[in-house]
Structure 1
Amino acid sequence: MEAENPKHKSTKLFALFNPILSFFKPRRRRTRFMDLPRVIMVEILSKLPIESMLSSRKVCKLWYNLFSDPLFLTMYKSRLPPPYILFSRDHDISQLLELEPPCDSSSSRLHNRPILLSCLEFNTPVKRGMDIPVEDYPMLRLIGSCTGFIGLMTNIYDINTSVYISNPLLGEYFKLKLPELEKSVCRVVYGFCFSEVSGKYKLVRSVTRRFEGHREVSELKVYTLGVDEKWRNLGQVPYPVWHDFGQVCVNGALHWMDPVDKDSIYSFDIEIEKLKSVPGPPGLVFPFKYFAQAESQRSTCAPSCLTLVELGNCLCLTDDCGSIYGHIDIWWMKEYG
Structure 2
Amino acid sequence: MQSMDLPKKEVSNYIPNDISFDILSKLPMKSLKRFSCVCKFWSNLFEEPQFMDIYRTSLFVSNYDDHHNSCFLFKKTPELGENQNEDNIVLLSGETFENKVKLDWPPPFEVYRGRIYIIGSIVNGMLCLCRGNGRGDHICINQEVILWNPFIEDFKVIPSGSFKHTILKAFPPDTIFEDLSKITTFVNIYGFGYDPIADDYKLIRNFCFIDNKKYELDPNDCIHDETLWQIYSLKSNSWRDIQVKMPNHILNSGWEQNGNAIYFQGMCHWWGYKDYYGEHVLVSFNLRNEVFITTHSNPNYHRLGKHMLVLKDSIAMIEYDESYNLFISVLGEIGVAESWTRLFRIGPLRCSINPIGVGINGDIFLNRYGKIEKFNLNTNLIEEIGVTGRIKKCQMVICNNSIFPIGGIHG
Q: Which residue in 2 is equivalent to 1:329?
A: 327
Give the Å deviation of 1:323.
6.4
Equivalent-residue separation in structure 2 for 1:258 and 1:172 (angstroms)? 32
| TM superposition shift of 1:128 | 2.8
Contact 1:220 1:237 in 2 (8 A): no
Other structure's SS at 1:147 match: coil
Partners in 2 of 1:240 and 1:155 — Cα distance?
18
CA distance in 1, matches of 2:109, 2:204: 23
- For residue 208 of structure 1, report the CA deviation from its aligned partner: 0.4
2:283 is equivalent to residue 266 of structure 1: yes
Q: CA deviation at 1:129?
A: 7.8
Change (3 A) 1:179 1:319: same
Per-residue deviation at 1:172? 0.9
Partners of 1:151 and 1:179 lie apart in 2 by 17
**Given the alignment of the two structures, is residue 173 of structure 1 paired with residue 171 of structure 2, yes or no?**
no
Assess if the C-alpha contact under 8 Å between 1:204 and 1:220 holds in 2: yes
C-alpha distance 318-262 of structure 1, shift in aligned 2 (>3 A) = farther
Q: Does 1:249 align with 2:263?
A: yes
Equivalent residue, structure 2, for 1:49:
none
Residue 314 in structure 1 maps to residue 314 in structure 2: yes
**What is the distance in 2 between the residues matched to 1:265 and 1:204?**
16
CA distance in 2: counterparts of 1:265 and 1:129, whole angstroms: 31
Take 1:129 and 1:186, find their aligned partners in 2: how far apart are those partners?
28
Kept in 2: contact 1:262–1:304 (CA 8 A): no
Residue identity in the other structure for 2:300:
L
Aligned: 1:141 with 2:123: no
Give the Cα separation in 2 of the matches to 1:147 and 1:247: 16
| Cα distance, 1:126 vs structure 2 | 1.9
Aligned partner of residue 251 in structure 2, secondary structure: coil
Distance 1:188 1:221, change over 3 A: same
SS at match of 1:146: coil
Matches within 5 A, 1:86-101: none
Q: Which residue of 2 aligns with 1:127?
A: 103
Write the letter of the residue equivalent to 1:241: N
Aligned amino acid, residue 304 of structure 2: S
TM-score by length of 2: 0.44
1:191-236 Cα distance to aligned partner (Å, 9 max, x none) = 2111233321001011101347434233211111112533223344
CA contact (8 A) 1:146 1:194 kept: yes
**Contact 1:140-1:156 within 8 A present in 2 as well:** no
- Contact 1:206 1:241 (C-alpha < 8 Å) held by counterparts: no
Distance in 2 separating the partners of 1:242 and 1:156: 15
CA distance in 2, matches of 1:179, 1:198: 22
Mean Cα deviation higher: 169-178 or 183-192: 183-192
Residue type at the aligned position of 1:167: N
CA distance in 1, matches of 2:314, 2:205: 25
CA contact (8 A) 1:219 1:237 kept: no
Unaligned runs of 5+ in 2: 1-63, 75-95, 165-179, 215-221, 337-411
CA–CA separation in structure 1 for the residues paired with 2:294 and 2:283: 4
Once the two structures are superposed, residues 285-333 of structure 1 have per-residue CA deviations (whole angstroms, 9 ceiling, x without a partner) of 5xx3xxxxxxxxxxxxxx7323322223211122111563xx3111112
Deviations along 1:236-267, one digit per CA (max 9) or x if unpaired, are 42132322564322342211222561332211
The residue type equivalent to 1:134 in the other structure is E
- Determine the structure 2 residue equivalent to 1:162: 144
What is the aligned partner in structure 2 of residue 276 from structure 1? Answer: 293
| Unaligned residue ranges in structure 1 (runs of 5+) | 1-76, 87-118, 289-302
CA distance in 1, matches of 2:159, 2:299: 44
Residues 134 and 312 of structure 1, relative CA distance in 2, 3 Å threshold: farther
Q: Distance in 1 between matches of 2:321 and 2:67?
A: 29
Letter in 1 for 2:269: H
Q: Secondary structure at the match of 1:227?
A: coil
Task: Please give the secondary structure, in 2, of the residue aligned with 1:132.
Answer: helix
Q: Which has the higher contact order (CA 8 A, sep 6+)?
A: 2
Partner of 1:186: 185
Q: Which aligned pairs between 1:296-315 and structure 2 lie closer than 5 A? A: 304-315=304-315
How far apart are 1:176 and its partner, in Å?
1.4
Partner Cα separation in structure 1 for residue 188 and residue 125 of structure 2? 22
Amino acid at match of 2:66: R
Count matched residues. Answer: 207
The one-letter amino acid of 2:288's match is: E
Structure 1 residue aligned with 2:8: none
What amino acid is the match of 1:173?
F
Contact 1:207/1:220 (<8 A) preserved? yes
| Equivalent residue number for residue 390 of structure 2 | none
Bigger helix share: 1
Secondary structure of the structure 2 residue equivalent to 1:284:
helix
- Helix, strand or coil for the counterpart of 1:264? strand
Partners of 1:156 and 1:316 lie apart in 2 by 32
| Residue type of the alignment partner of 2:252 | V
The answer as to whether partners of 2:127 and 2:149 remain within 8 angstroms in 1 is yes
How far did residue 137 of structure 1 move?
3.1
Alignment match, 2:228: 219
CA contact under 8 A between 1:186 and 1:208: conserved in structure 2? yes
Amino acid paired to 1:171: E
Q: Which moved more, 1:176-185 or 1:192-201?
A: 176-185
The structure-2 alpha-carbon separation of the partners of 1:135 and 1:278, relative to structure 1 and needing over 3 Å to count, comes to: same
Deviation by residue 1:147-204 (Cα, 9 ceiling, x = unmatched)? 1111111126553431111111221112111123345342111021112333210010
